[in-house]
Amino acid sequence: MDENNPVVILDGETWHIAENGRSSKIAHCGKKMTNQRTHSRVSTIGVAHVCKNCVRRYLEDFPNAFPQP
């Protein structure tokens, strides 16, 4: 996994960080993903559009992810 640019999955109306791309069934925030629509990367959709709980938990694991310009 690219620490600074993880895979995200659109589940319903919310983008979630996923550990293993499309094969992931659980988001980084712990939510079970049941309505996966598409996947992308954080750099494409922007951190501001990702589930806040996923981002918070991801930054606990990778504190230097998503560096500020």
* Residue-level pLDDT at 67: 66
- pLDDT for residue 69 is more than 80: no
Residue 51 placed within a domain = yes
C-alpha to C-alpha distances, 68 to 9, 11, 54, nearest whole angstrom: 23, 27, 18
* Residue-level pLDDT at 19: 85
The tens digit of pLDDT for each residue in 13-53 reads 999 999 887 789 999 999 999 999 999 999 999 999 999 99
Residue 69 placed within a domain = no
The boundaries of the domain holding residue 32 are 7-61
- Name the pTM for this structure: 0.90
CB atoms within 10 A of CB 36: 16
Cα separation, 34 vs 3, whole angstroms: 25
β-strand 36-41 against 14-17: which pairing, if any? unpaired
